[in-house]
């Protein structure tokens, strides 16, 4: 895979990661990925000290492997300030996601659109670099005019495909926020 293709894939992966961090009203185990728990003398991600499952549409079940970690996990989730409720019971913790208000949905949609635009800027930057390198090769006669045109068309085709996939990610996130 050449550098240009890696940059395009990187923009898609970056957007996917950013969208995973945008919390909607639905339960998603991915939201706890960034939460670190003080356990056995070191900070560890929650998913390394407990199993995380979806109980219902707005509730996650966190089941610690060592019941002595329940309080530490609860404290870590509360300290992470994710806007979720945490309840401890006999078998672990329940993390509940509140319903989204209309205002919060609008804010999340604007944020998602902003992240989409940032990803597009990354793609445009990569395309511009690639086009300039093709032009330099054409001027120095490393490639002929026909080959340069073919390379530019191929580059634009890759950019268009990447933009379609970015738009699909946005549409998916928009649907998730509005449900």
Domain residue spans of the chain: 3-20+101-178, 29-96
Other Cβ atoms within 10 Å of 84 Cβ, number: 20
How does the average pLDDT of the chain come out, rounded?
Answer: 87
Q: Which fold has domain 3-20+101-178?
A: Topoisomerase I; Chain A, domain 4 (1.10.132)
Q: Per-residue pLDDT tens for 62-117?
A: 999 888 888 899 998 888 877 778 999 888 899 888 777 888 788 888 888 999 99
Residue 25 in tokens = 């009203």
Packed helices 145-178 and 102-139: angle between N→C axes, nearest 10 degrees: 170
In this structure, whether the domain defined by 29-96 belongs to CATH 3.30.460.80 is answered with no
Which of the four pLDDT bands, split at 50, 70 and 90, describes residue 176? Answer: confident
pLDDT of 1 reads: 55
Q: Return the structure tokens found at 103.
A: 């205002």
Residues 6+ positions from 129 with CB-CB distance below 8 Å = 4
The pTM for the full model equals 0.66
Nearest Cα to Cα of residue 144 among 129, 155, 134, 154: 134
Rounded to 5°, the CA angle 22-26-29 comes to: 75
pLDDT at res. 19: 83
């Amino acid at each position: 895979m050449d550098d240009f293709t890696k940059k395009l894939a990187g923009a898609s992966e970056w957007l996917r990661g950013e969208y995973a961090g945008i919390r909607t009203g639905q339960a998603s185990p991915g939201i706890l990925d960034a939460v670190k728990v003080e356990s056995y003398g070191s900070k560890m991600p929650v998913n390394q000290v407990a199993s995380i499952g979806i109980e219902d549409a707005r509730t996650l079940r966190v089941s610690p492997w060592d019941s002595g970690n329940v309080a530490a996990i609860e404290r870590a989730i509360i300290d992470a300030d994710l806007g979720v409720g945490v309840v401890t019971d006999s078998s672990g913790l329940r993390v509940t996601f509140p319903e989204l208000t209309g205002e919060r949905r609008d804010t999340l949609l604007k944020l998602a659109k902003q992240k989409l635009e940032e990803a597009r800027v990354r793609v445009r930057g990569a395309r511009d670099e690639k086009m300039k390198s093709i032009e330099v090769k054409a001027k120095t006669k490393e490639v002929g005019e026909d080959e340069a045109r073919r390379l530019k068309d191929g580059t634009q085709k890759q950019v268009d495909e990447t933009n379609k996939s970015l738009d699909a990610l946005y549409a998916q996130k928009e649907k998730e926020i509005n449900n």
